[in-house]
Amino acid sequence: MSASPSVPLPVSAPVRPPAQAELLDFVRRTAADAELISSLPLDPEGRTWVRLEGPGGSEAWLIGWPPGTGTGWHDHAESVGAFHTASGELKENSLAARLPADGWKTLELSDGVDRERRLTAGKGRSFGRHHVHEVLNDSPDEHAISVHAYYPPLPQIRRYSRTGQVLRLEHVERPEDWQ
């Protein structure tokens, strides 16, 4: 009996997480899907959302924003992300400062760290880990709809309150709190 030659087993390529640019491309393409965008049920009182299948194992959401609604100050912890406005306009207030990941409850922010962006339909942006921001639909009468993607899927969201230059960690949400 002769030995058969060994055949190497195929090696699967390691899964590469999606980069911020890939997340931005995904939310841009998804926001351009008029049929999907029009399928989102809109509520005049509160935000509505539908979970989507994001690229490379990312978490993605289609979100409807009634006039006057927003997220409050928050970050997405270790996740990178992107969002794109499909209809209406969103305002993003953010901090141009990297905050410590842990070990604090209250921080006094330096002058000049505040940034504001207006994201009209067809505009979007990506962001890195620990990006602290709030997203608002400050229109008095028009809904906005946007697409968001995060990688890794959101392990937590840290919620903050802000008074002047003082940022305070209020609580930490886990996926079971919003799914």
Binding residue positions for Fe cation: 74, 76, 133
What whole-number distance in Å separates Cα of residue 4 and Cα of residue 6? 6
- Binding site: which residues? 74, 76, 133
Q: Give the H or E element holding residue 39.
A: helix 34-39
Name the residue among 21, 28, 22, 23 with its Cα closest to residue 122: 28
What whole-number distance in Å separates Cα of residue 83 and Cα of residue 124? 5
Q: Which two tokens stand for residue 11?
A: 């090696």
Please state the φ and ψ torsions of residue 55, each to the nearest 5 degrees. Answer: -70, 145
Cα dihedral 34, 36, 39, 41 sign: negative
SS3 label, residue 145: strand
